[in-house]
Structure formats: C-alpha cells, structure tokens
Amino acid sequence: MKKNKIIIFFLASIFMVGCASQKGKKGGFNLFTIEQDKALGAQVAAEIDSNQQEFPLLDSIKYRDVYQYIYKVRDKILNSGNVAHKDDFSWRLRIINDDSTLNAFCTPGGYIYIYTGILKFLDSEDQFAGVLGHEIAHADLRHSTRQMTKMYGVGFLLEVLGGNRQMLKQIAAGLINLKFSRAHESEADEMSVEYLCPTDYNASGGAGFFKKIQEMGGGRAPEFLSTHPNPENRIEHFETHKEALNCQGNNRYITEYKAMVAKLP
C-alpha cells in the first residue's frame, strides 16, 4: 500500500509540473520532453527517408534551386520571432515526389515533408508560407506527441525511443495519416498567421489552400480534412486572426512561386 501511495504521489507530481509548465500556452498537456520530441522525430525521419519506394524524395542536389527556394521561405518564418522552438528543432525540409497527394506533414522535432502535389496545387509563395507555417506550428506546439500519447500511450512511444523498429514503422505511418483534433488544427492555423504577421507576406496566406478547395467544391479535398472544420470556417479563421493582429504585409510572390514550381519534375 505504501509503495502504491509513493507511485501515485510521483505521477501526480509529474502531472502538476507538466500542467504548470503548459499553463497559458497553446497545445495542451504533454509529458514528453523536448529532447524526446527530437529523438522520436529523428528516428521517424530516418525511417521515412529509407523507404524510397513509398516516399520517393526529390534529390536535394539535382533540385537544388527548388530546395533553396523552400528553405528561404522556411527561414522567413523561423526569423519572425514567433517560433518558440526555433533553436531547439531541426526544421529540415524534404520534398516527396507524388503529384496525387495534397499534403504536407511534420514529425516531432521539426522534420518537414512536402508533397509535390500540394506544391503544384498552390498558386503563390504566401499560400505556401501559410501551409508551411501551419506544419511548423504542429511541431512547435508539439501536437504530434500530445496526440500520439493519447493514441498509443507513453509506454509505446518510449519503446520506440528504445529502438523497437516495428513500432517505429507504425509511428511513421501514423504520423503521415495523423488526424489532429479540431482544437489543434485551429491552433496551427492561428500560429501560421502569427508566424507570417511580422513578415512582408499576406499573413492569411494559408487560407488560399482552403479557398481553392472550396472553389473546386471539395472534390479533391484531402481525406485528413474530413473530420475538421469546413474550408469556409477555416478561411474566416485565418482572415479574422490576421485582422485582429493588424498584420500589414500583403506580398504574394506569385511569379517567383510559379517559376519554382516549373522546376519540379
């Protein structure tokens, strides 16, 4: 009985410390440390990178100009001053050569994957910056480890960190198809605006993706959108948050973006 009381007290202490550290912050409660986010992300990224059949990555040398372009956009976001874990996480970018997939995702620790499908679907740099800011926000707010802790449990994820390859494959697949909660999606939308607000971009650039989906009648809407607020609500959320923050940027860089897309295979 005494041993059980000690265990309960220990877990309660961890919970209180975790809640205190998250008080007033977006994202919610998370028992995982920053270092564990980084370790998990690095392992998942290595698993994805090694699976060229399922994830055919564009060579960063052959497509140097394209990678330089997307890294330039990434750097403008990171240098906005609003990315909390700018110096903690990797923020590495990779492009998956798959035109049929309108998606991008980010592992814990900031390993970002962008499908050629979404790059070709978007019309301008500010739209891409909005989407990229949204993915950065998921890692910056540590949504993945919060969500996956609920899905798999802390013990499962700790086994992955311990080197269980089979579980690692499950985690990698889970991350790619991860359905964030409505609250997490709304937070990532808001943070996308906040990241872009100090830049010269149109801060609600992320709304452009949903405008295009809406214009097409939702026919090509990615499956991961099916459980989230509809495009109209998300467009409004982007734009009202931009207005609330009084963001002044309005540059879209349409010509430059189209020139980059033309260099994709």
pLDDT, tens digit (0-9, with 9 covering 90-100), for 84-126: 999 999 999 999 999 999 999 999 999 999 999 999 999 999 9
pLDDT at 40 over 80: yes
Q: What are phi and psi of 200, to 5 degrees?
A: -90, 0
- In percent, the amount of the chain with pLDDT more than 70 equals 83
Q: How confident is the model at residue 79 (pLDDT cuts 50, 70, 90)?
A: very high
Span 121-136, mean pLDDT? 98
Span 135-148, mean pLDDT? 91
pLDDT at 219 over 70: no
Dihedral of CA 37/137/197/201: which sign? positive
The pLDDT assigned to 230 comes to: 77
Span 223-233, mean pLDDT? 62
Q: How confident is the model at residue 155 (pLDDT cuts 50, 70, 90)?
A: confident
The pLDDT assigned to 220 comes to: 52
pLDDT at 154 over 60: yes
Which residue would you say has higher pLDDT here, 8 or 217?
217
pLDDT at 39 over 60: yes
Name, of 23-37, 90-104, 163-177, the range with top average pLDDT: 90-104
Contact 264, 70 (CB under 8 A): no
The pLDDT assigned to 59 comes to: 98
Token reading at 71: 């890294």
Cα(224)–Cα(248) distance, integer angstroms: 31
The pLDDT assigned to 26 comes to: 62
Span 53-64, mean pLDDT? 97
The pLDDT assigned to 171 comes to: 74
What is the Rg, in whole angstroms, of the alpha carbon atoms belonging to the chain?
A: 19
pLDDT at 224 over 60: no
Per DSSP, which regions of 12-90 are E strands?
A: none
pLDDT at 12 over 60: no
Per DSSP, which regions of the chain are E strands?
A: 92-96, 104-106, 111-115
Cα(265)–Cα(261) distance, integer angstroms: 9
Contact 237, 245 (CB under 8 A): no
Closest by CA to 258, choosing from 125, 116, 113, is 125
Span 20-28, mean pLDDT? 45
The pLDDT assigned to 89 comes to: 98
> Buried (b) or exposed (e) across 143-166, using 16+ Cβ within 10 A?
bbbbbbbeebeeeebebbbeeeee
Give residue for tokens 């990555």.
57
Kindly list the strands in the beta sheet with 111-115, ordered across the sheet, starting from the edge strand earlier in the chain.
92-96, 111-115, 104-106
Dihedral of CA 111/97/225/152: which sign? negative
The pLDDT assigned to 229 comes to: 58
Q: How confident is the model at residue 66 (pLDDT cuts 50, 70, 90)?
A: very high
Mean residue pLDDT of the chain comes to: 84
The pLDDT assigned to 17 comes to: 34
